Structure 1
Amino acid sequence: MRTMRFHPPGYGGQRRDPEEVKRDGWREHGVLAISADDDRLTWPERELVCQLGEKLYGPRPLEREVDHG
């Protein structure tokens, strides 16, 4: 006897690439997920991303300072 295997969305099967998830989010829902450190962006574009993030969500926590002593 064969049994049917059903996996609810998000369970089982292949995991999607994060870039594919971001691309689909933009195309299907108008949601944009951008890393402020994305190498594909120019410096002015990264600055704009940071400014938008700070305007919408507030400043990012300061990273730990490295001791150079």
Structure 2
Amino acid sequence: MRWHPHGYGGDRRGPDQVKRDGWRETGLLAVSIDDDRLTWPERELVRQLGEKLYGKMKEETQR
């Protein structure tokens, strides 16, 4: 018999499910600038919003 404390064990949500739940429950949007589901103009908008809110990315992480 296995015993797990409350909140441990069971199924974990995947990263996309966590993002989906965050958007639907709290209005929080987490978007990768490299998401293949986005068109170039959409990725550019995400990049511009990120720079406006948080500043430019470091050189080694820029695309």
Instruction: Give the TM interval when normalised to the shorter protein.
Output: 0.7 to 0.9
SS at match of 1:32: coil
Aligned pairs for 1:29-44 within 5 A: 29-44=26-41
Structure 1 runs (4+) greater than 2 angstroms displaced:
none
Instruction: Output the TM-score relative to the length of structure 1.
Output: 0.76
Distance across 2 between alignment mates of 1:43 and 1:29: 27
What is the number of residues matched between the two proteins? 61
What's the Cα RMSD here?
2.1
Deviations 1:23-54 (A, max 9, x none): 00000000000000000000000000000000
Offset of 1:5 from its aligned partner?
4.6
Unaligned runs of 5+ in 1: 65-69
1:6 CA displacement? 3.4
Percent identity over the alignment is 69
The AA in structure 1 aligned to 2:17 is E
**Which has the bigger relative contact order, CA under 8 A and spacing at least 6?**
2
TM-score (norm 2): 0.83
Structure 2, unpaired ranges of 5+: none
| SS, match of residue 63 in structure 1 | helix
Secondary structure at 2:60's aligned position in 1?
A: coil
Structure number with greater Rg is 1
